[in-house]
């Protein structure tokens, strides 16, 4: 509904606006079912379902800035030590290159090779908490009911902040620990998914049929 208000504010006629929901929800729901046939990455890593943190860091503003990158990785090590759960980090090839460039070692973090979408989605769905600088992962965490800590100072998914599925932490390690503690005390799925119910595609088809007919 917020998007509708924005369009109305830009002068779009209400008769031309149709609230359908976000098709990302459709995709997540469909693919999480398909992923059930995949090998469970958490078992392959020797960790129990729900007993790990999942991290993704790839944005240029973070990984190309040595101070920020070191701050994030230090924060991940600190939460691992404080809360006793391993941090699983499927690393982007370019990010791995930056580790070498800055001569950073992340030995205590479970750095693994990138995963295919279905395997990653399954790993997301079973995590205790997700730490990320990805906008898409913020959405997926919200849809899957997994608490999220965003490793940035802003987000293009403000809906996640409003419903309480997500919180901004930036790159300061102490703040990352603080926000992780906050989100761990927030029950999974205690928020209403603001992106829709997984039926956006059907609604779009119905609107198109009605308008084309």
**Which residues are known catalytic residues?**
58
> Beta-carbon neighbour count of residue 14 at 10 Å?
8
Q: Which of 156, 177, 159, 155 is nearest to 168 (CA)?
A: 155
Say if CB 122 and CB 35 are below 8 A apart. Answer: yes
Residue 15 DSSP symbol: G
Say if CB 124 and CB 144 are below 8 A apart. Answer: yes
Give the distance between the most distant pair of CA atoms in the chain: 62
Task: Beginning with the edge strand found earlier in the chain, give each strand of the sheet holding 110-112 in spatial order.
Answer: 110-112, 87-90, 53-56, 129-132, 148-150, 166-168
For residue 66 the two structure tokens come to 């040595």
- State the Cα–Cα distance between residues 125 and 121, nearest whole angstrom: 6
């Amino acid at each position: 509904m917020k998007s509708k208000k924005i369009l109305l504010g830009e002068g779009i006629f209400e008769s031309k606006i149709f609230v359908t929901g976000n098709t990302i929800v459709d995709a997540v729901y469909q693919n999480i079912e398909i992923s059930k046939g995949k090998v469970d990455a958490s078992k392959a890593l020797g960790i129990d379902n729900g007993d790990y943190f999942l991290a993704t860091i790839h944005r240029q503003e973070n990984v190309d800035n040595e101070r920020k990158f070191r701050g994030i990785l230090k924060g991940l090590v600190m939460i691992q030590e404080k809360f006793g759960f391993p941090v699983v980090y499927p690393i982007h090839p370019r990010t791995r290159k930056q580790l070498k460039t800055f001569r950073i070692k992340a030995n205590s973090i479970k750095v693994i090779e990138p995963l295919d979408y279905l395997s990653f989605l399954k790993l997301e769905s079973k995590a205790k908490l997700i730490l990320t600088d990805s906008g898409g992962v913020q959405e997926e965490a919200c849809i899957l009911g997994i608490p999220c800590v965003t490793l940035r100072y802003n987000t293009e998914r403000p809906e996640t902040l409003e419903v309480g599925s997500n919180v901004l932490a930036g790159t300061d390690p102490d703040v990352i620990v603080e926000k992780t503690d906050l989100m761990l005390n927030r029950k999974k799925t205690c928020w209403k998914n603001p992106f829709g119910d997984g039926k956006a595609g059907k609604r779009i088809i119905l609107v198109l049929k009605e308008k084309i007919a």
